[in-house]
């Protein structure tokens, strides 16, 4: 039987040790433990094993005391009969709002596709008001995924595992929370695809000794080279590829594990970006880089904020190894993503235009005659600077009419599919699903840009609007107001977002044209 995690463990990893914060978390811990004292999990463990683990995960990720407290209390309203007003009286309105945000989702769990999709719609609606609701839900899902073997119904077990892989892990990835993404995937993988899990694990086992031996030698040689160049302020660590991520890559490589170079990577963390670039030169002077395997996410960050330099080098023993270079602050952000600065980041006057706004879009595609409003008003937020635009878009879709199946299609095609990164002429990154076109790119920047588009250039060359964009393409949208989106555009577009805006533009044109 698993023991309830002690309060001292949570307090020890909390980012704030201020008396008021410790007091709030302590009170929430004691209240939740008492509320769930007579309840058990499928495993036979006390129910508080789950709530205290969620609280610990949130503390470990660096969340504030209110979020940790809400994580401890997140099931008290739904499963222990506690009234929301009691939560507010004891812990304040902020904790109540977070608990209610998670509670509204719980009543809809695992009751068929349509009801589950409705749960996701509510999830993003709540998240648009406070991103912390989503992070609590992700930590709740992580512990549930880690204890899936205790769920007695095999069909339910598989369904939860597939939801975790298809929805929740990609959400963590979009928030830049790479550690959480990998943990969600690897917890769900054996229950979703047991045969593939066993096959992948056996292949990895066969290569483990060879990879570890290569890593050990490269690490020793690199330390010597860096020291000789007078670079001594750094630390090294090993990054193991997640088993599920390896499985997906094996599928793309016809199950030939010898074609995968990043099963184990050597990560080097420096104080500054300048040190990283100096180290990159040293590495390439010592080992020959694999062509096409140098990725500078430091100069061109991923849309989720990830920054690092990746290079894969031939190690001289017939194999190759990936080496990652980053700063301490970039490492913290890569591990915990948006959670790494949720508690401390504040909106400042004079800040850059928010991504997705008309002001932001105009930086890259100046155009007269654009409207004054965005696609639709944003939902009210308690931490507006921290809520990504894609979450707000999903929230707006929550309020739009349409079948649950269409909403799920939007989730899978527009937000949780494999992604490519294209660039505006000024270097801003636009992330899109694989096979996206210039039409999808234009509408991802702003609906007005899509509606006034006449043609597109990719990497300086005029292209057809049905051209499939590739990773790293620079896309320039040529406009000619008033634009004329066509039904053909609707057929070409790959994202539901673009299709929705094209349909709206066509409907508005039909209404405006005089009837014959």
Catalytic residue IDs? 78-79
Strand pairing report for 289-296 and 309-314: antiparallel
Contact present, 122 and 104 (Cβ < 8 Å) = yes
Matching residue, tokens 């896309």: 475
Q: At what angle do helices 178-192 and 154-163 cross, to 10 degrees?
A: 150
Label residue 301 exposed, middle or buried (CB < 10 Å: 0-12, 13-18, 19+).
middle
Residue ranges of alpha helices (H) inside 151-272 are 154-163, 169-174, 178-192, 194-228, 243-252
Helix, strand, coil percentages for the chain (3-state, nearest 5)? 55, 10, 30
Label residue 444 exposed, middle or buried (CB < 10 Å: 0-12, 13-18, 19+).
buried
Which residue pairs from 85-90 have beta carbons closer than 8 angstroms and sit at least 24 positions apart in sequence? 90/27, 90/31
Contact present, 333 and 305 (Cβ < 8 Å) = yes
Contact present, 80 and 35 (Cβ < 8 Å) = yes
| Distance (Å) of CA 91 to CA 27, 47, 65, 68, 246 | 8, 21, 11, 12, 43
């Amino acid at each position: 039987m698993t023991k309830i995690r002690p309060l001292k463990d949570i307090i020890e990893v909390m980012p704030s040790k201020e008396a008021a914060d410790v007091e709030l978390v302590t009170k929430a811990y004691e209240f939740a433990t008492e509320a769930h004292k007579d309840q058990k999990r499928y495993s036979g463990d006390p129910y508080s094993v789950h709530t205290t683990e969620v609280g610990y995960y949130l503390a470990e990720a660096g969340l504030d005391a209110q979020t940790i407290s809400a994580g401890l209390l997140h099931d008290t309203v739904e499963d222990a009969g506690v009234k929301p007003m009691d939560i507010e009286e004891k812990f304040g309105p902020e904790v109540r709002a977070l608990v209610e945000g998670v509670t509204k989702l719980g009543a809809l769990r695992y009751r068929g596709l349509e009801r589950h999709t409705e749960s996701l719609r509510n999830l993003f609606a709540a998240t648009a008001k406070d991103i912390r609701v989503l992070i609590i839900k992700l930590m709740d899902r992580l512990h549930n995924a880690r204890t899936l073997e205790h769920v007695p119904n095999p069909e339910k077990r598989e369904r939860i595992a597939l939801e975790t892989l298809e929805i929740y892990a990609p959400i963590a990835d979009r928030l830049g929370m790479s550690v959480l993404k990998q943990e969600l995937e690897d917890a769900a993988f054996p229950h979703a695809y047991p045969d593939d899990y066993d096959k992948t694990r056996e292949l990895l086992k066969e290569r483990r000794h060879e990879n570890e031996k290569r890593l050990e030698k490269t690490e020793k040689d690199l330390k010597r080279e860096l020291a000789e160049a007078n670079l001594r302020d750094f630390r090294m660590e090993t990054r193991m590829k997640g088993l599920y991520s390896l499985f997906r890559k094996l599928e793309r490589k016809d199950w030939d594990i010898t074609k995968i170079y990043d099963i184990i990577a050597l990560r080097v963390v420096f104080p500054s970006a300048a040190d990283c670039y100096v180290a990159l030169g040293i590495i390439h002077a010592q080992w020959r880089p694999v062509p096409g395997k140098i990725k500078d996410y430091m100069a061109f960050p991923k849309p989720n904020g990830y920054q690092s330099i990746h290079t894969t080098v031939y190690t001289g023993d017939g194999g190759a190894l990936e080496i990652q270079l980053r700063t301490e602050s970039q490492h913290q952000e890569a591990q915990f993503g948006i959670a790494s600065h949720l508690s401390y980041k504040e909106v400042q006057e004079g800040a850059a235009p928010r991504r997705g706004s008309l002001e932001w879009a105009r930086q890259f595609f100046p155009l007269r005659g654009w409207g004054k409003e965005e696609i639709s008003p944003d939902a009210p937020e308690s931490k507006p600077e921290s809520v990504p635009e894609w979450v707000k878009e999903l929230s707006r879709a929550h309020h739009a009419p349409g079948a649950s199946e269409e909403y799920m299609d939007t989730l899978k095609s527009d937000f949780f599919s494999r992604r490519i990164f294209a660039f505006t002429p000024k270097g801003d990154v636009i992330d899109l699903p694989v096979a996206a076109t210039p039409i999808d790119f234009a509408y991802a920047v702003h609906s007005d840009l899509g509606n006034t588009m006449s043609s597109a250039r990719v990497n300086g060359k005029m292209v057809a609007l049905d051209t499939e964009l590739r990773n790293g393409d620079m896309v320039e949208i040529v406009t000619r107001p008033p634009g004329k989106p066509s039904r053909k555009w609707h057929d070409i577009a790959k994202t539901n977002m673009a299709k929705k805006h094209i349909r709206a533009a066509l409907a508005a044109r039909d209404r405006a044209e005089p009837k014959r």
